[in-house]
Structure 1
Amino acid sequence: MKQKKGTEIRSRSELSSAIEELSVLVLVKPGDNHEAALVPTKPFLSLCYLVLQVLDKIGPTMAVLRQDIHQNIKRLEMVLESNSSLNSNLVEILRTETREGNAKKGASCSKAFVWLTRSLDFALALLQTLSIGSGKNMEEAVEEAYNITLKPRHGWISSAAFKVALKLVPDSKTFIDLLRENDESYDAQTEKIKILVSLLAPFLEDIHCILKAYDLENLKSA
């Protein structure tokens, strides 16, 4: 049964799958009560896996970022497998590690959550640029998205690796064509990108509210 589900997911475009995930995802901001914060685990990680598939379409430029995302997903999955009580709410990890003083230490799950969120920020910034027809080529769009979202938090090694690989990105039309579903038109695909952006932007705003509540918003690479 699981194999059939995976086959169905792969038969749809990454954008369609991401829109579906976000359409049914329910997220609760902390507000004045941190205990009420909720980020459903499985939908969040599914969304991150979809970002990995999108990055594959961009090519070798995203190899370092892709590896980081994959490692952070696996780190969270390992914890969730060993502690079933955390399976329904990622914020419980932040809460537990903050209480124990481990959220900002070593390879914590809180750090993994922060960096996965930032990877989604990058994907959002890139898709926003592509959806508005800004006239930027793909290289410019990728670089701008990186500079806004990830570069301020990256160390010089990661930034240098990204800069070296930037010349390898495909052109914008080729990238969007790679994301298209079957015989979908270019205009229909662009409209789908806009729908995804409209869903992803408020979702990430809520996530950042939660990160601020746990003093993790400004965490940087070691």
Structure 2
Amino acid sequence: MKRKREGFEKKGSEIRSVIEELSSVVRVKPGVHQETALIPSRPFLSICNLFLQVLDKIGPTMAVLRQDVHQNIQRLEKLYESDPSIYSNLVEVLKKEDSEGTARKPTSSARALVWLTRSMDFAVALLDKLVKEPDQTIEQAVESSYDIALKPWHGWISSAAYRVALKLIPDRKTFICLLMAGDEDYDKLKEDLQSLVSLLLPLLDDIHSILRSFRLDKLKSS
């Protein structure tokens, strides 16, 4: 399940690879029926790994968030690899831990899924702002995305650490250049980001609905 970490010149193709993977997902609307709900493990963990690469491009300023995302990915990847036939659908993880009464524990896979979903909310908000609000600085885009997706669930220590990190983020032009592959221009990157966001939004909406059905949507950092 672990994806090979590719170099800078492979970035654009990596984004398009994830777009192709997400495009092939057959969505099952969660509704109120947990038995038919679907969170596809491979595409979801692929986009999480791509987000890690984005954080690497931002630099050490995002080290705390990167470590959190990386640990949560590892937790779910390990479970997936233990039995891909069962855990190809991450809803099975939620069912298992819900029945065991362990879903809310700090080291649970369910909690890892909650925080990865919120991290993806942050990523989608940031990428959307990069495309639709070109006049914003990267600092403004990151801050507003953080306020929407992560701040409501962070304690004051996490929020304070983020505020310090925000001051070290590269400028918008540098960040955009870091996201582009060697063989693409800004228009192509913009097109890829728009496609990625349009595919991710409905998937994340589904995941949030499923988390609410397991009463996991209000968990805060411990």
TM exceeds 0.5? yes
Which one is further off, 133-142 or 84-93?
84-93
Q: Which amino acid aligns with 2:95?
A: R
Residues 1:161 and 2:161 are matched in the alignment: yes
Q: Does the CA contact (< 8 Å) of 1:28 and 1:38 recur in 2?
A: yes
Equivalent residues in 2 for 1:34-183, closer than 5 Å? 34-183=34-183
Report the alpha carbon displacement of residue 106 of structure 1 after superposing the two structures with TM. 2.8
Gap change, CA 1:60 and 1:94, over 3 Å in 2? same
Report the alpha carbon displacement of residue 18 of structure 1 after superposing the two structures with TM. 2.7
Gap change, CA 1:175 and 1:38, over 3 Å in 2? same
* Structure 2, gaps ≥5 residues long: none
**% same residue:** 58
2:10 corresponds in structure 1 to 11
Report the alpha carbon displacement of residue 52 of structure 1 after superposing the two structures with TM. 0.4
State the SS of the aligned residue for 2:96.
helix
**Residues 166-210 of structure 1: CA deviation (Å, up to 9, x unaligned):** 111111121111111223121221222112111111111111111
**Residues 64-101 of structure 1: CA deviation (Å, up to 9, x unaligned):** 11100110111112223334553311100101111121
Q: Which amino acid aligns with 1:54?
A: V
Report the alpha carbon displacement of residue 130 of structure 1 after superposing the two structures with TM. 0.6
Q: Distance in 2 between matches of 1:146 and 1:125?
A: 9
Gap change, CA 1:39 and 1:176, over 3 Å in 2? same
Q: Does the CA contact (< 8 Å) of 1:17 and 1:50 recur in 2?
A: no
State the SS of the aligned residue for 1:219.
coil
Q: Distance in 1 between matches of 2:139 and 2:37?
A: 37
State the SS of the aligned residue for 2:167.
helix
Structure 1 residue runs of 4 or more that deviate by more than 6 Å after TM superposition: 7-10
Q: Distance in 1 between matches of 2:46 and 2:136?
A: 30
Q: Does the CA contact (< 8 Å) of 1:104 and 1:110 recur in 2?
A: yes
**Residues 76-133 of structure 1: CA deviation (Å, up to 9, x unaligned):** 1222333455331110010111112111123110000000111100000001111113
Gap change, CA 1:87 and 1:193, over 3 Å in 2? same
* Structure 1, gaps ≥5 residues long: none
State the SS of the aligned residue for 2:164.
helix
RMSD: 2.2
Q: Distance in 2 between matches of 1:7 and 1:109?
A: 23
Q: Distance in 1 between matches of 2:52 and 2:4?
A: 15
Q: Distance in 1 between matches of 2:100 and 2:85?
A: 17
Q: How many pairs were matched up?
A: 220
2:211 corresponds in structure 1 to 211
1:189 corresponds in structure 2 to 189
**Residues 10-36 of structure 1: CA deviation (Å, up to 9, x unaligned):** 735242233222212233232132111
Q: Which amino acid aligns with 1:66?
A: R
Which one is further off, 123-132 or 184-193?
184-193
State the SS of the aligned residue for 1:168.
coil
Q: TM-score, normalised by structure 2?
A: 0.91
Q: Does the CA contact (< 8 Å) of 2:80 and 2:88 recur in 1?
A: no
Gap change, CA 1:93 and 1:117, over 3 Å in 2? same
Gap change, CA 1:76 and 1:129, over 3 Å in 2? same
Gap change, CA 1:6 and 1:37, over 3 Å in 2? same
